Amino acid sequence: MSLHAVKTGTSPEDERVRQGRIDLAAAFRMAARYGWNEAVANHFSLAVSDDGRRFLMNPQGRHWARMTASDILELDTDEGAGAIGSGAGKADPTAWHIHSRIHAMMPEARCVLHTHMVYATTLACLKDYRLQMIDQNAMRFYNRIAYDDDFNGMALDGQEGGRICSAMKGKSVMFMANHGVAVVAGSVAEAFDEMYYLERACQVQVMALQTGRPLCVVSDSIAELTCRQWHEYPADAAHDHFNELKRILDREEPEYAS
């Protein structure tokens, strides 16, 4: 549900792109407030065509805290190297090779968020580590996480992007060893909500590990039940969360939607 009025005379397709830009800009601004950004790196994208091949993504070199809707690039997976370059209007090479491959190979992955946020990345840097079912936020992700344990350097070619995409194995969350995490979902609101709870779960686990005490891991049956309860929760919870964040920005940083 949009918090911004539909412009008269715009087509449904144009409105989808416009709203997508606003939602991504809001996601970047709030992610920066949460400290999920890493300098001007890391990227969010959103498919705007049914086949996923046309998508929106942040440009190279723009800080998330300054992102506006009009900054967001509209790209096509068939553009190839022409989409990559330096400065405004071009995509970061690693972002292009990861996000374009995911959108081309997984059209159901409408929104793709990739970050190096601290707590999730900390767990991704531990040998053979898996997210442990020790709190209900972690249980939200029971049996929904793929693990790519083979870091091959930066994604600077399409082959590496394709390998990362294949490693997701139909899951909606992926821990990328020695790298970071990626989340895919059907909308910006849903993806952002997933990323929020993922980082909270990872923060609890890092802090629990620091105590040196054994982790209190629940049974698979309880973890599965709790995951199901999460997904039977009111369907609008993620959108309610994201709309509230946009209301905060509408009041404090309204230029994000410009």
Please indicate whether residue 166 or residue 184 has the higher confidence score (pLDDT).
184
CA distances from 191 to 95, 184, 187, 234 (A): 17, 6, 6, 16
**Tally of structural domains, the chain:** 1
Whether residue 199 is contained in a domain is answered as: yes
Query: Over the stretch 185-238, which tens digit does the pLDDT of each residue have?
Result: 999 999 999 999 999 999 999 999 999 999 999 999 999 999 999 989 877 899
The answer as to whether 155 is a domain residue is yes
CATH classification at residue 168: 3.40.225.10
Q: What residues have CB less than 8 Å from 187, skipping those under 6 apart?
A: 23, 110, 111, 238, 239
At 3 the pLDDT is: 67
Question: For residues 175 and 183, what is the distance between their CA atoms, to the nearest angstrom?
Answer: 9
Does the structure show a pLDDT above 90 at 79? no
Task: Write down the residue that tokens 């020695």 correspond to.
Answer: 178
Asked if the structure places residue 24 within a domain, the reply is yes
Residue 195 lies in a domain: yes
Q: Is residue 164 part of a domain?
A: yes
| Model confidence band, residue 8 (pLDDT cutoffs 50, 70, 90) | very low
Host domain of residue 244? 12-257
Is 55 within the bounds of a domain?
Answer: yes
Q: Pick from 131, 250, 235, 145: which is nearest to 193 by CA?
A: 235
The mean per-residue pLDDT over the stretch 61-71 comes to: 95
What is the pLDDT at residue 7? 53
Give the torsion through C-alpha atoms of 15, 183, 35, 209, to 10 deg: 160
Going by C-alpha positions, the residue among 65, 58, 63 that lies closest to residue 95 is 58
pLDDT surpassing 90 at residue 86: no
Residue 2 in any domain: the answer is no
Q: Is residue 225 part of a domain?
A: yes
